[in-house]
Amino acid sequence: MTFKLYICKKMNSRGNVEISLRFRHGKIDQQSCTNLWIKPIFVVRESFADDGGNESSDYVLKLPDDGVRPGDVADYRVTVDSLARLKAYIEDSFCMMRRRTVEAGWLAETIERFHADEIPRLEEERTEVLGLIDAYMEITSVMDASESRAEAYALMRRSLARYEAHRRIKFPRFRLMSGRMNESCLRDIEKFMRKEHLMVRKYPQISQGAGLEGRTRPKGPNTINDRMKLLKAVMTWGVKTRRIPSNPFDTFVSGQNVYGTPVYLTLDERRRVELHDFSYDPRLALQRDIFIFQCCVGCRVSDLMLLTTGNVVDGELNYVARKTREGRPVTIKVPLNRTAKIILERYADHDRDTLFPAVYSRMGYNRVIKDILRLAGITRKVVVIDPLTREAVCRRLYEVASSHMARRTFIGNIFKKFKDQNLVSELSGHAPGSHAFARYREIDTELKREMVAAID
């Protein structure tokens, strides 16, 4: 059996390249990345004459005579030592197979098993990814952020914990270590997230433990991309705070999110909901009024549930959006229209500090909104992008309703009347030139007619 070294072209953030190993024995010929990294100055290509007298060349690892920092020399020796142990491990694994069929992917699987069985030798490799996520959530402002943002990080961590538990079924000593993460590992995590709901059903044990229980639903590409972005934020923070040496996302290209044209209530539809008689169910009447108020001020639900009477000053709603208060804290001021003022007066209570009585959780609020629109007869058909398949599908408006539809209703109707992004951004809190705002901008039929009429 023979081994041959190859060097991958991509570099990580430390300027190292990954070593690829080729294993040959008889008709068996497999090659795989090793997750061992080295600086290019230690890689030399040497020429030699093969058994047939033909000139050939191989990559070898060599220590230059001078011009190398002591720290780099230490890393070189660690890599060379790890590579020698890896080759011995592969040889032992091959001999233990006793001439059984070697399937495709055997070498990559053996290398992964080697890393899972190895005791981490570098201090930075001892940083467990789950521990890094916990530290990030505790030290940064995640826990003080909006409910949806904190929940997003918690869900991302849960997926990573389940991934680690799933890998441990095959490799009992597997740990997800930051020093061993690379592009192939991140792709494997993405692949697991796509099938996480199926894996939980097939291997219930990966969903056992504190924080791992709960319903697991199929995830669309946008959801997976968003979770990988959150993981990237954690790894970037780890590098900046010197908790880990390099960022595996430096060579990782994530997918692009795909969004359809936002759908929202017209002013006529909003008034139908506002005037619908819900006197038979005070719960629905309260939730309807809160939804209509949100349609009139355009705030996110995370801000809506924290509004107090102190946020209303001289007939104007003043608040700082929780989503942007860390990076771009801007006070958003929205004058209250007649409808919003009537709703506030209806629920005014000097013994209560919040604008409205207690409401359901964010998810409960979303479910009630669907019921409210359905009962009010808002059944217009709209074309939306299916989050799982990314195919265009036709749905009733109430079926795709949520608290964020109130924000879209506010933005969409104002822009439809005034067609000025800068003015609308002052009321919505979007940054100038925001890509997110562009999704709200719908060039409707009326605007198209005006554009064509302008050149008549």
Residue 118 pLDDT:
63
Residue 231 pLDDT:
95
What tokens does 256 get? Answer: 């692009």
Residue 265 pLDDT:
93
- Which residues fall within 8 angstroms of residue 38, CB to CB, at 6 or more apart? 16, 17, 19, 61, 75, 76, 79
Contact 342, 329 (CB under 8 A): no
What tokens does 388 get? Answer: 């799982």
Q: What CATH class does 267-453 carry?
A: mainly alpha
Residue 97 pLDDT:
73
Distances (CA, A) of 370 to 337, 356, 364, 398: 25, 20, 10, 5
Residue 160 pLDDT:
94
Residues of the chain with CATH 1.10.443.10: 267-453
Ranges under pLDDT 50 in the chain: 119-125
Dump pLDDT digits (tens) for 169-199.
888 878 888 877 888 899 999 999 999 999 9
Dump pLDDT digits (tens) for 118-164.
644 444 445 789 989 988 888 876 655 667 778 889 999 999 999 99
- Per cent of the chain over pLDDT 90 is 30
